[in-house]
A and B are shown apart, each in its own frame.
Chain A
Amino acid sequence: MPAFLITNNWYDFRDLGNLSGKLLDLLDDALPFGVVYVIAALLGFVASFVIFVLPSQLFVGVYGERKLIGRIQSRYGPNRVGPFGLLQPIADAIKLMQKEALTPTSADRALMYLAPIVFVAPCVLLFAVIPFGPNMVFADIPVAIVYFLAVSSIPVLTTFMAGWSHNNKYSLFGAMRVVAMTISYELPLVLGMLGVVLFTATLGLQSTVLWQKEMDIWLVFLQPLAFAIFFLGASAELNRTPTDIAEAESEIVAGYLTEYSGMKWGLFYGMDIGYAIAAAAFGVTVFLGGWTFFGLEKWVPPWLIFIGKTYLFYFLFIWTRGTLPRLRIDQLMTFAWKFMLPIALLNLVIVATERMFWVEEKADDSIVYAFALINIIAAAAAIYGWSRALGYRPENTPQKARLVSEAGGFVPVDAHGEGSK
């Protein structure tokens, strides 16, 4: 079906990268040297951030999340402002802008003002390397995965700045937790990514997508352990609910956000969603085949596939948030160091062996299916075995209270933990 293949013609709407590339080419001829870079940067910003991220933040991150969590909690969610409450995020934004931005007297004013601003910048930068389509990637740099990990580690510093600057003990607690958690979770996250990189032998995001397209398999099947580690590590670094200890509202009020109000808080809130969308986009690109969908991308615009996948991935974040309680900080640390790190190392060993076998034996490419099977089994075995080794015994947990029919004194639990009378 060559007629349906995406061409590089500028009028092929299925890939908007063609159009913008053509436009930039024209401009490059017409304008003096260098100006085109500035225009390209602006265009990229508008294309990725203003057209994609901002509406996603508002309508998926704010409205969709509130609505979905509302349904999870058996209530309606926003339904007053606009049709189906769709204008709620805009109303929220207007409200936030009108609110007075309070500054505590003893706060470090410079840091406090700087933190939300610095928090926004990496979020914009992250979307520069995400491929939305075959030609729809703003900066297809060869080290995009490292770039993504590097840039996504900057907001942690910002949260620290925010927490420190308030001179508030709750904020300091939050900041301390963020710092401690980042140190712990960066490590398994990078190790997990290493497994992926070993398979694809590339650090670029676009090339990772193309590799998956070529092999006709998604990396989530080849690297289930890395995917799990990525998901958990990302939700930890994003402060999403099972791991939102940095702003745990039932413990330390709002952590590093305690003293923020108005749009300063709004920037943090909005960008938190932005980072979550970026993480979802990254996860989709690396593990779920990016803009490909087993051939469907020939008919449907790839960027639509990509956005759909990203939102589905984001739904996972919403889902966990609506369902799970929060872990304690020491449990999170223990989980990262004692569980995720060994598992990530094990994953690395497995992948390295497979890769070596693949290269040395010059095996056929279809061997990846065998690898996928092996890795899925290995993942299940590793998770189960290691958790048993760490003392995970669900069968010993009581499910129901004991029942006695007569009042009296202490009823001892017998040796099997199932006391009865």
Chain B
Amino acid sequence: MSGIIKSEPFTLNIGPQHPSTHGVFRIKVKVDGERIVDAEMVMGYLHRAMEKLAEERTYTQNIPFTDRTDYLASMSNNLGYVLAVEKLAGIGVPDRGNAIRVIMAELQRIASHCMAVGAFTNDTGAWQTPVMWCFRERERVLDLFEMTSGARLTCNYMRIGGVAFDLPREFEPATRKLLADLPGFIDEIEGLLVGNEIFLARTRGVGMLSAETATNFSLSGPMLRGSGIAWDIRKADPYCGYEKYDFQIPIGYQGDAFDRFIVRLEEMRQSVKIVQQALDALPGGPHSTHVPLALRPPAGEAYARVEGPRGELGYYVVSDEGPSPYRFHIRPPSFINLSALKEMTVGGTVADAIVVLGSIDIVVGEIDR
């Protein structure tokens, strides 16, 4: 219809308060009828100057901050930060600590992908059903976190040199029970959505990114893998002993929203596999090395990254031998994944823009920091 009938474009504000922006995030779109001709992001409503605050606190005190950037994946954030500090200070981690870290990071990935998949289907208009199913399973993961760290969302569990506490005795049976149930749940979600014509119509071919574009836009995580690039830091640059575990990298076909969705589903399956292996081969020994509270790493810099649920989660820490980091920079995956939003939304409809935003799986706490 567009093109034949002349119409005036007008500006529509999606957000800051909008059911589908997953927080206080705003897209100013210029629409011509239903078609988007321009999109501009406005963010920073949740900016808390984490990077500045971190310069005033000791290395250990900064761990809780990392919980609060990506509050849906606090374990992964903890992990990235402590890895950076360990790299900077040259601290080793005992085997058991590493294994626990892997278990926690993978459970966190499952929980976070549950949320991502659920919220994404909600954005396509499925009336809350998949999201409630996902929440049901996510709750069980969070129960495990509560059992271990005492907190459900902001766990603050990783420590420099290991983890805060050893696993409680009831952790292993509970986790094994969860692991036994999870594949069935993933199949259930897949059965509900993957063969669903409406879901396919809404997501196939929406927000297409070629491998070239995805790379050029610095994307990472499921966004990059959805475009067909086999890149997973757990494989490419193993940390915490990921090289010991047998898993595979799921990749998509054409880089649309649907591909990101199936990549996430498959990643949950792979995570289940990894946790299973880590749990089977859980070594004994201490869970942490002793690290002085007032840690003063030698002058220098370190950039450590982990494969977070949303992509490459990097921490760049500069030390000047002081008790607090001289510079503390987070490479937030969902912030950088947003950089291609305009490419993906322009030309589509408003409804497509929402689906694209859902497929990026943003967490506003991480975007604004």
In the complex the two chains form, is B230's CB within 8 Å of A421's CB?
Answer: yes
Contact A325/B124 with A74-B132, A401-B265, A402-B253 known, Cβ cut-off 8 Å: yes
From the candidates A325, A399, A404, name the one contacting B199 in the complex (CB within 8 A).
A325
Contact A403/B228 with A325-B126, A398-B262 known, Cβ cut-off 8 Å: no
In the complex the two chains form, is B132's CB within 8 Å of A75's CB?
Answer: yes
Identity of the chain A residue whose Cβ is nearest the Cβ of B124 in the assembled complex: A325
Chain B residues within an 8 Å CB radius of A72: 129
Which residues in chain B, 30-47, are within 8 Å of chain A measured between CB atoms? 34
> B53 at the A/B interface (Cβ < 8 Å)?
no
In the complex the two chains form, is A397's CB within 8 Å of B200's CB?
Answer: yes
Which of A3-11, A30-38, A185-193, A328-336 lies at the interface? Answer: A328-336
In the complex the two chains form, is B230's CB within 8 Å of A322's CB?
Answer: no
B362 CB to nearest chain A CB (Å): 14
Q: How far is the CA of A249 from the CA of B13 in the complex (A)?
A: 15
In the complex the two chains form, is B18's CB within 8 Å of A244's CB?
Answer: no
> B66 at the A/B interface (Cβ < 8 Å)?
no
Which residues in chain A, 363-421, are within 8 Å of chain B measured between CB atoms? 394, 397-413, 417, 419, 421
> Interface of chain A, helix or strand or loop or mixed?
loop
Chain B residues within an 8 Å CB radius of A331: 201-202
In the complex the two chains form, is B198's CB within 8 Å of A253's CB?
Answer: no
In the complex the two chains form, is B12's CB within 8 Å of A169's CB?
Answer: yes
Q: How far is the CA of A395 from the CA of B354 in the complex (A)?
A: 27
Per-residue contact bits, chain B 204-236, to A (CB 8 Å; 1 contact, 0 not): 100000010000000000000101111110011
A254 CB to nearest chain B CB (Å): 9
Chain B residues within an 8 Å CB radius of A419: 228, 253
Chain A residues within an 8 Å CB radius of B125: 241, 244, 248, 250-251, 325-327
B292 CB to nearest chain A CB (Å): 36
B46 CB to nearest chain A CB (Å): 20
B109 CB to nearest chain A CB (Å): 15
Q: How far is the CA of A21 from the CA of B82 in the complex (A)?
A: 83
B210 CB to nearest chain A CB (Å): 9
A104 CB to nearest chain B CB (Å): 15
In the complex the two chains form, is A329's CB within 8 Å of B126's CB?
Answer: no
In the complex the two chains form, is B230's CB within 8 Å of A408's CB?
Answer: yes
> B189 at the A/B interface (Cβ < 8 Å)?
no
A136 CB to nearest chain B CB (Å): 35
B101 CB to nearest chain A CB (Å): 20
In the complex the two chains form, is B34's CB within 8 Å of A253's CB?
Answer: no
In the complex the two chains form, is B253's CB within 8 Å of A407's CB?
Answer: no
From the candidates A173, A241, A413, name the one contacting B127 in the complex (CB within 8 A).
A241
> B254 at the A/B interface (Cβ < 8 Å)?
yes
Contact A401/B126 with A74-B136, A324-B198, A407-B232 known, Cβ cut-off 8 Å: no
Identity of the chain A residue whose Cβ is nearest the Cβ of B251 in the assembled complex: A402
Number of chain B interface residues as a range:
35 or more
In the complex the two chains form, is A404's CB within 8 Å of B352's CB?
Answer: no
B58 CB to nearest chain A CB (Å): 35
Number of interface residues of A (CB under 8 A): 50
Which residues in chain A, 81-113, are within 8 Å of chain B measured between CB atoms? none
Of residues A323, A327, A410, which shows the largest number of chain B Cβ atoms within 10 Å of its Cβ? A410
Identity of the chain B residue whose Cβ is nearest the Cβ of A240 in the assembled complex: B127
Chain B residues within an 8 Å CB radius of A323: 126, 129, 192
Q: How far is the CA of A330 from the CA of B126 in the complex (A)?
A: 18
Chain B residues within an 8 Å CB radius of A421: 230
Q: How far is the CA of A249 from the CA of B266 in the complex (A)?
A: 29
> B128 at the A/B interface (Cβ < 8 Å)?
yes
Of residues B13, B127, B254, B262, which shows the largest number of chain A Cβ atoms within 10 Å of its Cβ? B127
Which residues in chain B, 340-356, are within 8 Å of chain A measured between CB atoms? 349-352, 354
Identity of the chain B residue whose Cβ is nearest the Cβ of A329 in the assembled complex: B34
Contact A329/B351 with A250-B122, A400-B262, A408-B231 known, Cβ cut-off 8 Å: yes
> A73 at the A/B interface (Cβ < 8 Å)?
yes
Chain A residues within an 8 Å CB radius of B136: 74
> B103 at the A/B interface (Cβ < 8 Å)?
no
In the complex the two chains form, is B127's CB within 8 Å of A401's CB?
Answer: no
B274 CB to nearest chain A CB (Å): 13
Chain A residues within an 8 Å CB radius of B259: 398, 401
Chain B residues within an 8 Å CB radius of A253: 18-19
Per-residue contact bits, chain A 67-82, to B (CB 8 Å; 1 contact, 0 not): 0010011110000000
Sampled A-B contacts (23; CB under 8 Å): A74-B133, A169-B10, A245-B351, A250-B125, A250-B354, A251-B20, A323-B129, A324-B196, A325-B121, A326-B351, A331-B201, A331-B202, A400-B190, A401-B251, A402-B250, A402-B253, A405-B248, A407-B230, A407-B231, A407-B249, A409-B230, A410-B228, A410-B229
With A399-B195, A421-B230 given, name 17 new contacts (CB 8 A): A169-B13, A241-B127, A250-B124, A322-B127, A324-B126, A325-B196, A327-B201, A401-B252, A403-B248, A406-B235, A407-B232, A407-B249, A409-B230, A409-B231, A410-B230, A411-B229, A411-B251
